[in-house]
A = this chain, B = another copy of it.
Amino acid sequence: LRHGFPEVILAQGKKFAHLNAITSRALNHKRNLLITRIGKKRAAKLLANHPQLTHHPLPRCVTWQPTANQPNIGLVAVLCAGTSDLAVAEEAALTARMLGAQVETHYDAGVAGLHRLLAASTLLQTARVFIVVAGMEGALPSVVGGLVDRPVIAVPTSQGYGASLGGIAALLGMLNSCASNVTTVNIDNGFGAGYVAALINRTSMP
Protein backbone atom coordinates (compact mmCIF):
# COMPACT_ATOMS: atom_id res chain seq x y z
CA LEU A 1 0.00 0.00 0.00
CA ARG A 2 2.70 2.48 0.94
CA HIS A 3 3.98 2.23 -2.61
CA GLY A 4 3.90 5.76 -4.04
CA PHE A 5 3.90 7.34 -0.60
CA PRO A 6 6.42 10.14 -0.16
CA GLU A 7 9.40 10.00 2.12
CA VAL A 8 8.75 12.38 5.02
CA ILE A 9 11.32 14.42 6.93
CA LEU A 10 10.54 16.36 10.10
CA ALA A 11 12.80 19.42 9.82
CA GLN A 12 12.23 20.77 13.33
CA GLY A 13 14.99 19.87 15.75
CA LYS A 14 17.52 18.96 13.08
CA LYS A 15 20.70 21.03 12.49
CA PHE A 16 20.73 22.41 8.94
CA ALA A 17 23.76 20.38 7.86
CA HIS A 18 22.00 17.22 8.95
CA LEU A 19 18.74 18.21 7.28
CA ASN A 20 20.55 19.05 4.08
CA ALA A 21 22.34 15.72 4.00
CA ILE A 22 19.14 13.72 4.51
CA THR A 23 17.46 15.75 1.79
CA SER A 24 20.26 15.05 -0.68
CA ARG A 25 20.02 11.36 0.01
CA ALA A 26 16.23 11.44 -0.40
CA LEU A 27 16.48 13.28 -3.72
CA ASN A 28 18.80 10.58 -5.02
CA HIS A 29 16.07 7.98 -4.40
CA LYS A 30 13.77 9.79 -6.84
CA ARG A 31 10.89 9.18 -4.43
CA ASN A 32 8.35 11.90 -3.68
CA LEU A 33 9.47 13.96 -0.73
CA LEU A 34 7.65 15.95 1.97
CA ILE A 35 9.57 18.05 4.49
CA THR A 36 7.45 19.43 7.36
CA ARG A 37 7.84 22.11 10.05
CA ILE A 38 10.50 24.03 8.18
CA GLY A 39 10.78 27.82 8.66
CA LYS A 40 11.21 30.38 5.92
CA LYS A 41 14.96 30.86 6.29
CA ARG A 42 15.87 27.22 6.37
CA ALA A 43 13.57 26.52 3.43
CA ALA A 44 15.31 29.22 1.36
CA LYS A 45 18.71 27.80 2.22
CA LEU A 46 17.54 24.31 1.29
CA LEU A 47 16.08 25.44 -2.03
CA ALA A 48 19.31 27.24 -2.84
CA ASN A 49 21.07 23.88 -2.62
CA HIS A 50 18.28 21.86 -4.25
CA PRO A 51 16.42 24.03 -6.78
CA GLN A 52 14.07 21.23 -7.75
CA LEU A 53 12.25 21.58 -4.41
CA THR A 54 9.03 23.60 -3.94
CA HIS A 55 8.42 25.72 -0.85
CA HIS A 56 4.92 26.09 0.66
CA PRO A 57 5.25 28.96 3.14
CA LEU A 58 1.82 28.87 4.79
CA PRO A 59 1.94 25.18 5.81
CA ARG A 60 5.70 25.52 6.37
CA CYS A 61 6.53 22.57 4.10
CA VAL A 62 8.90 21.77 1.24
CA THR A 63 8.01 19.13 -1.37
CA TRP A 64 9.30 17.35 -4.44
CA GLN A 65 7.18 15.21 -6.75
CA PRO A 66 9.46 13.79 -9.41
CA THR A 67 6.94 11.33 -10.80
CA ALA A 68 3.84 12.39 -12.69
CA ASN A 69 0.98 12.08 -10.25
CA GLN A 70 -1.88 9.67 -10.74
CA PRO A 71 -5.13 11.57 -10.45
CA ASN A 72 -6.01 11.98 -6.80
CA ILE A 73 -8.93 9.90 -5.54
CA GLY A 74 -11.77 9.89 -3.01
CA LEU A 75 -12.50 12.98 -0.93
CA VAL A 76 -10.97 14.33 2.26
CA ALA A 77 -12.59 17.45 3.75
CA VAL A 78 -10.48 19.89 5.77
CA LEU A 79 -12.47 22.30 7.94
CA CYS A 80 -11.51 25.15 10.24
CA ALA A 81 -12.78 28.51 11.42
CA GLY A 82 -10.64 30.28 8.87
CA THR A 83 -8.61 32.53 11.08
CA SER A 84 -5.49 31.52 12.89
CA ASP A 85 -5.68 27.81 12.14
CA LEU A 86 -4.99 28.11 8.41
CA ALA A 87 -1.37 26.99 8.57
CA VAL A 88 -2.20 23.72 10.27
CA ALA A 89 -5.19 23.11 8.03
CA GLU A 90 -3.04 23.67 4.95
CA GLU A 91 -0.37 21.30 6.27
CA ALA A 92 -3.07 18.64 6.60
CA ALA A 93 -4.43 19.31 3.10
CA LEU A 94 -0.98 19.28 1.49
CA THR A 95 -0.05 16.04 3.23
CA ALA A 96 -3.25 14.29 2.18
CA ARG A 97 -2.73 15.41 -1.39
CA MET A 98 0.88 14.23 -1.36
CA LEU A 99 -0.49 10.83 -0.33
CA GLY A 100 -2.88 10.68 -3.29
CA ALA A 101 -6.14 11.97 -1.84
CA GLN A 102 -8.46 14.49 -3.41
CA VAL A 103 -8.95 17.26 -0.86
CA GLU A 104 -11.53 20.01 -0.44
CA THR A 105 -11.20 22.75 2.18
CA HIS A 106 -13.80 24.89 3.92
CA TYR A 107 -12.26 27.56 6.13
CA ASP A 108 -15.25 29.44 7.41
CA ALA A 109 -16.68 27.07 9.97
CA GLY A 110 -16.72 28.62 13.43
CA VAL A 111 -18.64 27.05 16.30
CA ALA A 112 -20.13 30.42 17.18
CA GLY A 113 -21.39 30.87 13.60
CA LEU A 114 -23.11 27.61 12.80
CA HIS A 115 -24.92 28.82 9.68
CA ARG A 116 -21.57 29.20 7.89
CA LEU A 117 -20.75 25.60 8.73
CA LEU A 118 -24.17 24.33 7.69
CA ALA A 119 -23.72 26.13 4.34
CA ALA A 120 -21.11 23.52 3.47
CA SER A 121 -23.71 20.77 3.36
CA THR A 122 -22.58 19.22 0.08
CA LEU A 123 -19.09 18.74 1.39
CA LEU A 124 -20.49 17.37 4.66
CA GLN A 125 -22.41 14.75 2.69
CA THR A 126 -19.79 13.68 0.18
CA ALA A 127 -16.41 13.54 1.92
CA ARG A 128 -15.17 10.13 3.07
CA VAL A 129 -13.10 11.47 5.93
CA PHE A 130 -13.06 14.80 7.80
CA ILE A 131 -10.13 16.68 9.22
CA VAL A 132 -11.32 19.37 11.64
CA VAL A 133 -8.76 21.89 12.86
CA ALA A 134 -9.51 24.15 15.84
CA GLY A 135 -7.75 26.10 18.56
CA MET A 136 -9.05 27.79 21.71
CA GLU A 137 -11.91 25.59 23.01
CA GLY A 138 -11.64 23.07 20.18
CA ALA A 139 -15.39 22.50 19.90
CA LEU A 140 -15.70 22.28 16.13
CA PRO A 141 -14.92 18.53 15.77
CA SER A 142 -17.81 17.63 18.08
CA VAL A 143 -20.23 19.73 16.07
CA VAL A 144 -19.01 18.28 12.76
CA GLY A 145 -18.97 14.79 14.28
CA GLY A 146 -22.65 15.14 15.11
CA LEU A 147 -23.48 16.11 11.53
CA VAL A 148 -21.66 13.37 9.60
CA ASP A 149 -21.44 9.57 9.50
CA ARG A 150 -17.74 9.42 8.68
CA PRO A 151 -14.52 9.36 10.68
CA VAL A 152 -13.50 12.78 11.97
CA ILE A 153 -9.84 13.48 12.74
CA ALA A 154 -9.54 16.35 15.17
CA VAL A 155 -6.43 18.58 15.16
CA PRO A 156 -6.01 20.94 18.11
CA THR A 157 -3.91 24.03 17.45
CA SER A 158 -1.71 26.08 19.72
CA GLN A 159 -3.57 29.28 18.84
CA GLY A 160 -5.09 31.20 21.74
CA TYR A 161 -3.72 32.63 24.97
CA GLY A 162 -3.96 32.25 28.72
CA ALA A 163 -5.96 29.18 29.63
CA SER A 164 -5.57 27.76 26.13
CA LEU A 165 -2.25 26.48 27.50
CA GLY A 166 -0.62 26.29 24.09
CA GLY A 167 -3.32 24.03 22.69
CA ILE A 168 -3.89 21.75 25.68
CA ALA A 169 -7.40 23.13 26.18
CA ALA A 170 -8.35 22.32 22.60
CA LEU A 171 -6.68 18.90 22.81
CA LEU A 172 -8.58 17.96 25.97
CA GLY A 173 -11.83 19.15 24.45
CA MET A 174 -11.34 16.92 21.43
CA LEU A 175 -10.34 13.88 23.47
CA ASN A 176 -13.57 14.29 25.45
CA SER A 177 -15.73 14.77 22.39
CA CYS A 178 -19.32 13.67 22.91
CA ALA A 179 -19.39 12.62 19.25
CA SER A 180 -18.43 8.96 18.81
CA ASN A 181 -16.67 9.32 15.47
CA VAL A 182 -13.83 11.57 16.59
CA THR A 183 -10.19 10.63 17.06
CA THR A 184 -7.41 13.09 17.83
CA VAL A 185 -3.79 13.83 16.93
CA ASN A 186 -1.14 15.99 18.60
CA ILE A 187 -1.43 19.78 18.84
CA ASP A 188 -0.62 21.44 15.48
CA ASN A 189 -0.06 18.01 13.88
CA GLY A 190 -1.68 18.75 10.54
CA PHE A 191 0.76 16.31 8.97
CA GLY A 192 -0.45 13.37 11.08
CA ALA A 193 -4.10 14.15 10.40
CA GLY A 194 -3.52 14.40 6.64
CA TYR A 195 -1.59 11.15 6.68
CA VAL A 196 -4.25 9.11 8.46
CA ALA A 197 -7.06 10.71 6.47
CA ALA A 198 -5.34 9.69 3.24
CA LEU A 199 -4.88 6.15 4.57
CA ILE A 200 -8.59 5.88 5.41
CA ASN A 201 -9.61 7.50 2.13
CA ARG A 202 -7.41 5.07 0.19
CA THR A 203 -8.67 2.06 2.15
CA SER A 204 -12.12 2.85 0.93
CA MET A 205 -11.24 2.64 -2.76
CA PRO A 206 -12.59 -0.38 -4.59
* Given known A161-B187, A176-B170, contact A206–B206 (CB-CB < 8 A): yes
Q: Give the distance in Å from the alpha carbon of A142 to the alpha carbon of B140 in the complex.
A: 10
Residues of B within 8 A of A149 (CB): 1-2, 199
Asked if A167 CB lies within 8 Å of chain B CBs, one says yes
Q: Give the distance in Å from the alpha carbon of A2 to the alpha carbon of B187 in the complex.
A: 30
- Which residue from B1, B129, B173 sits with its C-beta under 8 Å from A173? B173
Asked if A113 CB lies within 8 Å of chain B CBs, one says yes
Residues of B within 8 A of A185 (CB): 175, 182-184
* Given known A111-B142, A139-B143, A146-B114, contact A192–B199 (CB-CB < 8 A): no
Please give the count of copies of this chain that the complex contains.
8
A172 and B179 form a contact (CB under 8 A)? no
Asked if A186 CB lies within 8 Å of chain B CBs, one says yes
Asked if A164 CB lies within 8 Å of chain B CBs, one says yes
Residue-wise interface mask of A (106-150) relative to B, using a CB-CB cutoff of 8 A (1 in contact, 0 not)? 000011111000000000000011000001111100110111011
Extra contacts besides A161-B187, A176-B186 (13): CB < 8 Å: A15-B58, A112-B179, A139-B139, A139-B173, A163-B167, A163-B172, A169-B176, A171-B175, A182-B185, A183-B185, A183-B192, A184-B184, A203-B204
Interface residues of A (CB under 8 A from B): 1-2, 8, 10, 12-15, 18, 37, 58, 81, 83-84, 86, 110-114, 128-129, 135-139, 142-143, 145-147, 149-151, 153, 156, 158-189, 191-193, 195-196, 199-200, 203-204, 206
A-B contact pairs, 10 of them (CB 8 A): A8-B180, A112-B143, A112-B146, A137-B173, A139-B142, A161-B186, A163-B168, A163-B172, A163-B176, A169-B176
